[in-house]
Structure 1
């Protein structure tokens, strides 16, 4: 059971009520992973797709980042390794343009180059640091809960200049992934406050907003892209700046 907020902890008046702690998703919430992925993808694939126009590259990136996430789900389920899902997503994107990534050295080099380049393009969104500064000033604890393993995400946060986010829960921390309640509640335990006093913010409506709400937290969908959903009745913001009252 999480401890309730102590006198040493501050509180923020948000548009969702009084909040004593905040948990964040990481990818495409705190850091612009889509930019990092698509930029690295283009760099390692240009020799395979010479002459592809900008529209084509946008389509290529869309397939990899949005239309092949079922491979990542299989990784979370233990059916694929992390590199397996990455390769299958790359092959699907290349295959859309009639290119087959050959087994052996070509595959190894493509994966190695992508794995080397992608972390260098990871950057924090511009609304992240100002919010963390405010939370630090107010004495409000915060952390991150991710559907990837702890050490991989630790390196990602550090590389993006977010080393101050010291409370971090990965899928290997408690052995489950979102939307299992235990992974959100482990983040709450690290903050040492009650779930109902904890805001959970993420870009995935199902895993972040609805999953955390079902676990007893105050879930918020960070809809950076302006996606329209008729049936969503939960909390929604388009920027971290909109979290505060």
Structure 2
């Protein structure tokens, strides 16, 4: 189905032309990865930090997720393996805590983390209802992610989102967002043209601005009320995926 924005109200639909499909980011858009990672960090680190309080675990996870040396982005760029970026980010936290963390401890931490994280993978509560709405409207959808295909495929399946059949990872076309090629591959697999495809993700610059630059209709999913680092016209924001349905007039 092709959705004409003429069916929408002026307030809820900033898009021009028609919307023929929707592509999603995965982590922190469809899947609550932060919560799963927090659980995995506690499991992997508990033996090294047996007396940590809940507040201290929050600080631990905040520093890990902040990734001040951009180890994850450098993994995406090919500088490290996925496991290496995990270990480097953990090593930084333990160094800040002045806790011994040798190569053996790091290897075990990575293994324990990867064992625990899938057990806590959950979709956000608004993900499945939006897919139901898109299914009912006959609008195809898929995902474009800055991680490898198979890892993200397993994540979607674990989160109960196996109906998302189109999935493009960084290993699919050899580039990462915001390179236009990865967005365009998502459109190709979805069978839509970029100008008629919505892309929604939680990263304002990479997902919102990047998809608009690639010719898609970008939407920023701003669940936590962040202020964007720059102001670019044509990137509407929604606080929930239900808000995306409203933007589409569904």
Q: TM-score, normalised by structure 1?
A: 0.92
Question: 1:24: how far off?
Answer: 0.2
Size of the aligned set, in residue pairs, is 236
Check the 8 A contact 1:11/1:139 in 2, yes or no. Answer: no
Match of residue 199 from structure 1: 198
Question: Aligned with 1:22: secondary structure?
Answer: strand
Check the 8 A contact 1:147/1:170 in 2, yes or no. Answer: yes
* 1:16 counterpart = 2:14: yes
Match of residue 111 from structure 1: 110
Task: Select between 53-62 and 24-33 the one with higher mean Cα deviation.
Answer: 53-62
Question: 1:113: how far off?
Answer: 0.9
Match of residue 135 from structure 1: 134
Cα deviation 1:41-78 (Å, max 9, x = unaligned) = 01111221122222211111011112346101111111
Check the 8 A contact 2:202/2:221 in 1, yes or no. Answer: yes
Task: Select between 187-196 and 14-23 the one with higher mean Cα deviation.
Answer: 14-23
Q: Distance in 2 between matches of 1:95 and 1:242?
A: 41
Question: Aligned with 1:72: secondary structure?
Answer: helix
Match of residue 32 from structure 1: 32
Q: How does 1:132-171 map to 2 (within 5 A)?
A: 132-171=131-170
Question: Aligned with 1:147: secondary structure?
Answer: coil
* 1:209 counterpart = 2:208: yes
Q: Distance in 2 between matches of 1:86 and 1:12?
A: 44
Check the 8 A contact 1:119/1:159 in 2, yes or no. Answer: yes
Q: Distance in 1 between matches of 2:210 and 2:96?
A: 33
Check the 8 A contact 1:12/1:140 in 2, yes or no. Answer: no
CA separation of 1:231 and 1:176: change in aligned 2, threshold 3 A: closer
Task: Select between 67-76 and 207-216 the one with higher mean Cα deviation.
Answer: 67-76
Q: Distance in 2 between matches of 1:89 and 1:181?
A: 29
Q: TM-score, normalised by structure 2?
A: 0.90
Q: Distance in 2 between matches of 1:132 and 1:200?
A: 14
| Structure 1 segments unaligned to the other structure (5+ residues) | 1-8
Check the 8 A contact 1:25/1:203 in 2, yes or no. Answer: yes
Q: Distance in 2 between matches of 1:208 and 1:49?
A: 36
Q: How does 1:43-62 map to 2 (within 5 A)?
A: 43-62=43-62
Question: Aligned with 1:48: secondary structure?
Answer: coil
Question: 1:228: how far off?
Answer: 2.1
| Structure 2 segments unaligned to the other structure (5+ residues) | none
Q: Distance in 2 between matches of 1:163 and 1:180?
A: 26
Stretches of 4+ aligned residues off by more than 3 angstroms? none
CA separation of 1:232 and 1:55: change in aligned 2, threshold 3 A: farther
Q: How does 1:175-194 map to 2 (within 5 A)?
A: 175-194=174-193
Cα deviation 1:17-60 (Å, max 9, x = unaligned) = 34211000001100000000011101111221122222211111
Match of residue 4 from structure 1: none
Match of residue 243 from structure 2: 242
Question: Aligned with 1:232: secondary structure?
Answer: coil
CA separation of 1:122 and 1:85: change in aligned 2, threshold 3 A: same
